[in-house]
């Protein structure tokens, strides 16, 4: 999603996602929500372009059992 998108296609995609998820965005809040959606797509493209799935840490934590007594 790093390519430049037209505002019309972005708005159509946003509207489709909102309709599919059952969210009703009030008309007075739509411009701000649409700007936030565009920013979210930019951030996602930045993260996906920077690291591959191989760079992800395993996030496996092993805690030693604590013996009380």
Give the pLDDT confidence score for residue 2 in this predicted structure: 43
For the chain, domain boundaries: 7-53
Closest CA to 11 of 39, 35, 42: 35
Residue 17: which residues within 8 A CB-CB, separation 6 or more? Answer: 37
Supply the pLDDT for residue 26.
96
Q: What is the per-residue pLDDT across 16-61, written as a single tens digit (0 to 9) for each? A: 999 999 999 999 999 999 999 999 999 888 877 777 777 777 776 7
Question: Is residue 68 pLDDT above 90, yes or no?
Answer: no
Asked if residues 14 and 34 have their Cβ atoms less than 8 Å apart, the reply is yes
Angstrom distances, CA of residue 21 to CA of 4, 14, 15, 26, 53: 25, 11, 10, 15, 27
Better-scored residue on pLDDT, 17 or 62:
17
């Amino acid at each position: 999603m790093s390519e430049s998108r037209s505002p019309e296609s972005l708005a159509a995609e946003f509207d489709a996602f909102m309709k599919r998820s059952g969210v009703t965005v009030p008309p007075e809040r739509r411009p701000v929500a649409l700007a936030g959606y565009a920013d979210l797509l930019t951030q996602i493209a930045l993260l996906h372009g920077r690291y591959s799935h191989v760079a992800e840490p395993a996030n496996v934590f092993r805690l030693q059992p604590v013996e009380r007594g």
